């Protein structure tokens, strides 16, 4: 049984403590550092854009092991201040900076940004050259703010709220923020993107009860998992673009614009036979079960959309990264990152016509629009995001999904909506 909390901490305070505590372990930092797409994008931004970094004062929010701070120092920054809420890891960042020869350039401050800002120096010399922890965070004293704040589905963990506070208080007017743009994207995923094919044929045995349980659980919450580009069955669409230099915390709760998804036109269906998704990556699948025959689809027939996959890109645009702009993409069509992708499963799969396929959506076809007997021509999708209002999930994210099947003549089926927790 849990012991009473002598400090009388609220649920949100406990969530924060667990959040910062989780970053005190080296395993999570290794995962992030080992993510080459992530780490290399920041290295390029900080080391290959001298007009942004060289001779400047740089603020690193959530500095972790200090890797971004050291990139900035190596990129010629005059002064770098790293801030981290985890005491143990802040000490590690400080030691790493000193060991690598940046003792006089990098200062690491430990504490929660919101609390540190209450004690920050609001007057005096804006150069901020005093390296005393009590004075190093001065109002509007930094030229550049860098942070790797992104969570699953971009906004999970609500860290960007903290970055916004630091941006507005500590960054000079017109100062650079890295990255400076974030975009959200969606596409439809097929059956191969799910765990269902594994259970079709497990050394010659079918396990439909497992598939049923997995399908029921999948619609209750968002699933964070890597999705291969080869398993995406529709085109993709950008649903939201955030200017990170000006967006407000309030604007991080939104309903994105509606987009229309159609089957891919690049010669890939997304449901091609793929042994890697079966038991033992093919070695445990015998091909002798009834199900293994059913999945042999008509190459010209409709594809089956099992849900919507969501991902984000962050841009180091020409605005601040003039010499070497770049993009950190978490798209299923790009190199996988530790963020993977976020999957929003439909309760019932949707049958979608392919271009020049053997079946087309027709008004006279029987069955609900989007069913196997009446495949649709496109799917309209609208996604919304909001920070969780529950105190116990204060860093959680709620995602809404509205979708409707559209026929070849523009007629719409039943509009449906679901909520997913991240």
* Residue 123 backbone zone (phi > 0: left; psi -120 to 50: alpha; other: beta): beta
Our answer to whether residue 283 is catalytic in this structure is no
Q: Is 121 left (phi over 0), alpha (psi -120 to 50) or beta?
A: beta
**What single string gives the DSSP state of each residue in 208-242?**
HHHHHHHHHHHTTS-EEE---GGGEEEEEEEEEEE
Token pair in block for residue 186:
């969606």
Helix (H, G, I), strand (E, B) or coil at 349: strand
Number of H helices, E strands in the chain: 10, 16
From the list 114, 126, 157, 390, the catalytic residue is 157
Q: Where are the beta strands (DSSP E) in 1-125?
A: 57-61, 79-84, 106-110
Q: What are phi and psi of 174, to 5 degrees?
A: 80, 5
- Token output for 207: 């396990």
Kindly name the residue from 17, 98, 126, 148 that is annotated as catalytic.
Answer: 148
**Per-position DSSP letters for 354-422, written without gaps between them:** PTT-S----TTS-SSTTBTTB-BSEEEEEEEEEE---GGGTT-EEEEEEEEEE-TTS-B---EEEEEE-
Which amino acids are annotated catalytic? 148, 157
């Amino acid at each position: 049984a849990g012991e009473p909390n002598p400090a009388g901490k609220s649920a949100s305070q406990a969530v924060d403590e667990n959040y910062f505590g989780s970053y005190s372990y080296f395993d999570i930092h290794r995962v992030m550092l080992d993510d080459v797409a992530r780490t290399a994008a920041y290295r390029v931004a900080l080391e290959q854009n001298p007009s942004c970094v060289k001779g400047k004062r740089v603020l690193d929010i959530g500095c972790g092991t200090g890797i971004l701070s050291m990139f900035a120092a190596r990129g010629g920054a005059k002064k770098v201040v790293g801030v981290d809420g985890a005491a143990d890891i802040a000490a590690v960042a400080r030691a790493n900076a000193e060991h690598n020869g940046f003792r006089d350039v990098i200062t690491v401050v430990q504490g929660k940004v919101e609390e540190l800002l209450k004690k920050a120096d609001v007057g005096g010399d804006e150069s901020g050259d005093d390296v005393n922890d009590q004075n190093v965070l001065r109002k509007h004293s930094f030229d550049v703010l860098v942070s790797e704040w992104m969570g699953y589905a971009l906004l999970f963990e609500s860290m960007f709220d903290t970055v916004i506070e630091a941006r507005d208080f500590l960054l000079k007017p017109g100062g650079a923020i890295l990255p400076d743009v974030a975009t959200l994207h969606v596409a439809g995923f097929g059956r191969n993107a799910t765990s269902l094919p594994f259970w079709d044929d497990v050394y010659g045995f079918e396990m439909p009860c497992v598939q049923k349980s997995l399908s029921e659980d999948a619609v209750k919450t968002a699933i964070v998992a890597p999705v291969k580009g080869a398993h995406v069955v529709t085109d993709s669409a950008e649903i939201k673009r955030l200017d990170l230099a000006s967006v407000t915390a309030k604007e991080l709760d939104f309903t994105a614009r509606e987009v229309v998804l159609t089957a891919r036109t690049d010669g890939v269906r997304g449901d091609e036979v793929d042994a890697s998704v079966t038991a033992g990556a093919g070695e445990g699948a015998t091909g002798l079960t009834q199900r293994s025959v059913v999945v042999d689809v008509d190459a010209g027939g409709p594809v089956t959309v099992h849900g919507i996959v969501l991902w984000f890109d962050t841009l180091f645009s020409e605005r601040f990264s003039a010499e070497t702009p770049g993009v950190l993409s978490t798209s299923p069509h790009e190199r996988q990152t530790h963020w993977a992708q976020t999957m929003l499963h439909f309760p019932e799969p949707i049958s979608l016509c392919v271009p020049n396929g053997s079946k087309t959506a027709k008004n006279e076809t029987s069955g609900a629009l989007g069913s196997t007997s009446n495949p649709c021509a496109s799917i309209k999708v609208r996604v919304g995001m909001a920070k969780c209002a529950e105190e116990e999930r204060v860093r959680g994210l709620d995602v809404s999904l509205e979708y409707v099947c559209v026929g070849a003549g523009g007629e719409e089926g039943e509009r449906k909506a679901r909520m997913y927790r991240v």
